[in-house]
């Protein structure tokens, strides 16, 4: 294998900042085209009384259409994306977002339908939702699925509110939610937002949840254990059946954070493992684009005992006709207006139809093989805190580089940008110091994986031989390291017109 090319210096033009859009253009310049009013002229005061009208126009940009085009094109070039390169971001499943999904979702027949249009005008949309619910129920082993949550954390909150309602219905009040110390930050945050006290349980030396500690924490005040499986170390919880039994023994509910579902499609189903309720991130496993931070879609699946509490409406089929059902007396209510991030649901449906059962299983198999391959090639040069066969991702530690060369994980992550790769997830999970969490996904080729390994090994060498080069990285990005301390101390959160 050839050594990676050492990054070369970019011309200074490359680093020239883009002025904010407000600074482009000039007073009076326009970039829009609207029809003239074709209704009889009425005095504006008769249309909207002056007392309700704004005194000063909003200071929006005054730019031409080409100004807008150049500006956002320039900004797009200052962005890293899956379409540009490898994104080994652990827990985020940055796999390829198929183009056909975009073509399907952008059709006017999906993108231009009104959420309150009469049901007979949206039968195709309702059919898609119904079919997608059944596919997701089959994939997860759950009985019903709601697509109302807009993202994973929103799904967590939805599930916890349903669990609350379930206990309320049984005449019980339970105030505690347990999360492992390896959990995503959204888990404890969602539990607090749902009104629960959070108890953290530690992990054991193999990277599983500590079963004794869990049992000690399980009282009859516990409403749920929020569990990620495979967990955030990329390891399958080997004692899942004991965990499920212990949780159910105190009458609590077992919740799956399905962020890591890409490891187990068609291989094992949470419903069969004993989970009562779960969320899926459709913007991870099911290829809906992440959009630079969203929109996502956080499907929530439930076993039948929790189905009465699903948010309204559900989609029901009556013969060949599909309908929205709001008549669900035990519902938790609504988590957002309308039905969910429908545009993303079209994309997820398209993906599932492309893959079929065999394709989904193959995706997980290759995601896991790719991860184990990377692990096998990186394990000698970085510390490996949990040495087991991994699932779709694994966690290394940069503590050797930190202790021996004073080069931190953050430094190495920034240096990776110079080699043309996005960095892995770093400093998470919190239980691994200097954590480097790597998730390759199934859509990357062996050449890409090898290129990434070469870059990682080159950086490990650089940490020894030229630590300063790594400490001051990135060198080849549009900007060097940014002053985050001042950004937080003296927040500048908006452009203001000069006085």
Closest separation between CB of residue 192 and another protein, Å? Answer: 5
Annotate 353-418 with DSSP letters as a single string. Answer: HHHHHHHHHHHHHHHHHHHHHHHHHHTTTSB-SS-S--SS-EEEE-HHHHHHH---HHHHHHHHHH
SS3 of residue 308 by DSSP: helix
Q: Find the binding residues for another protein in span 459-488 (CB under 8 A).
A: 472, 474, 477-484, 486-488
Size of the site for another protein (CB under 8 A): 205
The helix/strand/coil state of 277 is strand
Task: Report the greatest alpha carbon distance in the chain.
Answer: 79
Do the beta carbons of residue 280 and residue 286 sit within 8 Å? yes
Q: Which residues pair with 177 in a beta bridge?
A: 198, 224
Site string for another protein, 70-89 (x = CB under 8 A): -xxxxxxxxxxxxxx--x-x
Asked if 3 interacts with another protein (CB under 8 A), we say: no
Consecutive H or E run containing 166: helix 152-169
Q: Which of residues 177-216 bind another protein (CB under 8 A)?
A: 184-186, 188-196, 198
Give, in degrees to the nearest 5, the angle at Cα 10 between 8 and 14.
Answer: 160
9 touches another protein by CB under 8 A: no
Rounded CA separation 391/439 (Å): 9
Binding string, residues 11-40; x marks residues near another protein by CB under 8 A: ----x-xx-xxx--x---xxxxxxx-xxxx
Site for another protein in 38-57 (CB under 8 A): 38-40, 42, 44, 46-49, 52-55, 57
Closest CB to another protein among 196 and 452?
Answer: 196
Q: Which residues ranging from 347 to 376 are in contact with another protein (CB under 8 A)?
A: 350, 352-363, 365-366, 368-370, 372-373, 375-376
Please name which of 238, 241, 242, 222 lies closest in space to residue 230, comparing C-alpha atoms: 238
- Least distance (Å) between residue 325 CB and another protein: 14
**C-alpha atoms less than 13 angstroms from C-alpha of 265 in its C-beta half-sphere:** 27
Contacting residue, 146, 231, 344, 401, with another protein by CB under 8 A: 344
Residue 442 engages another protein in binding (rule: CB under 8 A): yes
Q: Least separation, in Å, of the C-beta of 449 and another protein? A: 8
Per CB under 8 A, 386 contacts another protein: no
Q: Which of 86, 122, 133, 209 binds another protein (CB under 8 A)?
A: 122
Binds another protein by CB under 8 A, chosen from 115, 219, 304, 321: 115
> What is the spatial distance between Cα 347 and Cα 283, in angstroms, rounded to a whole number?
10
Compose the 414-433 pattern: x for residues touching another protein by CB under 8 A, - for all others.
x--x----xx----x-----
């Amino acid at each position: 294998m050839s050594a990676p090319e050492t990054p070369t210096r970019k011309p200074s033009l490359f680093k020239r900042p883009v002025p904010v859009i407000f600074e482009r253009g000039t007073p009076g310049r326009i970039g829009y085209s609207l029809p003239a009013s074709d209704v009889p002229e009425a005095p504006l005061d008769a249309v909207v009384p002056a007392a309700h009208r704004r005194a000063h126009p909003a200071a929006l940009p005054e730019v031409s259409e080409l100004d807008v085009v150049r500006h956002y094109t320039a900004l797009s070039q200052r962005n890293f994306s899956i379409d540009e390169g490898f994104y080994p971001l652990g827990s985020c499943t940055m796999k390829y977002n198929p183009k056909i999904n975009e073509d399907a979702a952008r059709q006017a027949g999906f993108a231009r339908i009104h959420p309150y249009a009469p049901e007979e005008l949206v039968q195709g949309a309702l059919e898609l939702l119904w079919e997608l619910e059944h596919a997701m129920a089959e994939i997860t082993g759950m009985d019903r699925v709601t697509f109302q949550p807009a993202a994973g954390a929103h799904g967590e909150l939805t599930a916890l509110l349903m669990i609350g309602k379930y206990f309320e219905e049984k005449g019980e009040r339970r105030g505690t939610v347990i999360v492992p110390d390896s959990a995503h930050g959204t888990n404890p945050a969602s539990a607090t937002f749902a009104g629960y006290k959070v108890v953290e349980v530690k992990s054991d030396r193999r990277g599983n949840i500590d079963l004794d500690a869990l049992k000690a924490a399980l009282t009859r005040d516990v409403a749920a254990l929020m569990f990620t499986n495979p967990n955030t170390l990329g390891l399958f919880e080997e004692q899942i059946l004991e965990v499920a039994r212990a949780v159910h023994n105190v009458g609590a509910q077992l919740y799956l954070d399905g962020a890591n579902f890409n490891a187990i499609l068609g291989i094992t189903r949470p419903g069969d493992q004993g989970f009562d309720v779960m969320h899926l991130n459709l913007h991870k496993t099911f290829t809906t684009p992440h959009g630079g931070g969203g929109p996502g879609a956080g499907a929530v699946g439930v076993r039948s005992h929790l189905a009465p509490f699903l948010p309204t409406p559900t989609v029901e089929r009556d013969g060949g006709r599909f309908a929205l059902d709001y008549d669900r007396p035990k519902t938790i209510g609504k988590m957002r207006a309308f039905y969910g991030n429908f545009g993303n649901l079209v994309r997820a449906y398209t993906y599932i139809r492309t893959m079929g059962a065999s394709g989904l299983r193959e995706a997980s198999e290759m995601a896991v093989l790719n991860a184990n391959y990377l692990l096998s090639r990186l394990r000698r040069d970085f510390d490996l805190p949990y040495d087991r066969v991994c699932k779709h991702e694994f966690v290394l530690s940069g503590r050797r580089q930190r202790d021996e060369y004073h080069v931190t994980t953050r430094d190495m992550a920034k240096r990776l940008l110079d080699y043309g790769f996005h960095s892995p997830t770093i400093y998470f999970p919190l239980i691994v110091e200097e954590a480097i969490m790597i998730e390759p996904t199934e859509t990357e080729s062996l050449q890409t994986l090898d290129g990434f390994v070469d870059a990682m090994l080159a950086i490990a060498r650089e940490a020894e031989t030229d630590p300063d080069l790594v400490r001051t990285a990135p060198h080849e990005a549009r900007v060097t390291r940014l002053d985050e301390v001042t950004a937080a101390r003296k927040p500048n959160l908006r452009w203001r017109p000069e006085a």
